[in-house]
Amino acid sequence: MLIWELVVAMSILTAVFFPWQLSLLSEQKTLLAGYHRALAIGLVDGEMEVLAAGEWQTFKPGPQVYSVKASAATNLPPGQFTLTVNKHTIRLEWKPEKPFHGGVVWREATLP
């Protein structure tokens, strides 16, 4: 009888804690994606300020891979920065390789 009571108690604890643990894992993934997005926004905004100040003139027209010099970029998941220089605008974009890793972040500026 004591073993039966122990089995029932363990099954009740498992039924209560298993969904809670799944919820914590889901929240952890959501927070990590938010961190990656915030980091990408900060990097894109900072690089866009430098580009808009005149650095864009060193790049040829059209889309091209853009390398970010900030050491914080090592905390991003695998992805790519792309700079597109057009006649009237410049656009800097970060796109992660896998979905749900922060999402695409882009900024666009009008050229003088």
Q: What is the pLDDT of residues 28-82, one digit of tens each?
A: 999 999 999 999 999 999 999 999 999 999 999 999 999 998 999 999 999 999 9
What percent of the chain lies above the pLDDT cut of 70? 100
User: Mean pLDDT across the chain, nearest whole number?
Assistant: 93
pTM value is 0.80
Residues forming a β-bridge with 110: 89
